[in-house]
Amino acid sequence: DQQVKQNSPSLSVQEGRISILNCDYTNSMFDYFLWYKKYPAEGPTFLISISSIKDKNEDGRFTVFLNKSAKHLSLHIVPSQPGDSAVYFCAAWEFNYGQNFVFGPGTRLSVLP
């Protein structure tokens, strides 16, 4: 049973518009959430994170929102750029689980020029 879900395998957005990538989780003990971006044949790179005690974290064009009661987080990219086209993985971390992360299956974002 997947603890971290990304129900949209793919998403297409026009350049300049907002991209919203969603992630749902089932384990209420998760303490920390991260978003990674991955280009084909490369390793994921860290994008942005949020602690479970916060509901929003912003870094430039990227904002992550956390709704703990709904066990839902989302990544907003504004404005979207063609270089943002990649697979985005949501990951969750639980303190009592050591330093191990649970990754979602990923959402492929395509930003169309």
Running DSSP on this structure, what letter comes out for residue 47?
A: E
| CB of residue 7 to other proteins, shortest distance in Å | 12
Which residue in the set 21, 63, 104, 109 belongs to the binding site for other proteins (CB under 8 A)? 104
Output Rg (C-alpha) for the chain, integer angstroms: 13
Site for other proteins contains 101 (CB under 8 A):
yes
What gap in Å lies between CA 73 and CA 97, rounded to an integer? Answer: 20
Strand order in the sheet with 72-77: 4-5, 19-25, 72-77, 62-67, 56-59
From 28-36, 52-60, 63-71, 74-82, span contacting other proteins (CB under 8 A) = 28-36
Binding region for other proteins (CB under 8 A): 4, 6, 9, 32, 34, 36, 41-46, 49, 89, 91, 93, 98-101, 103-106
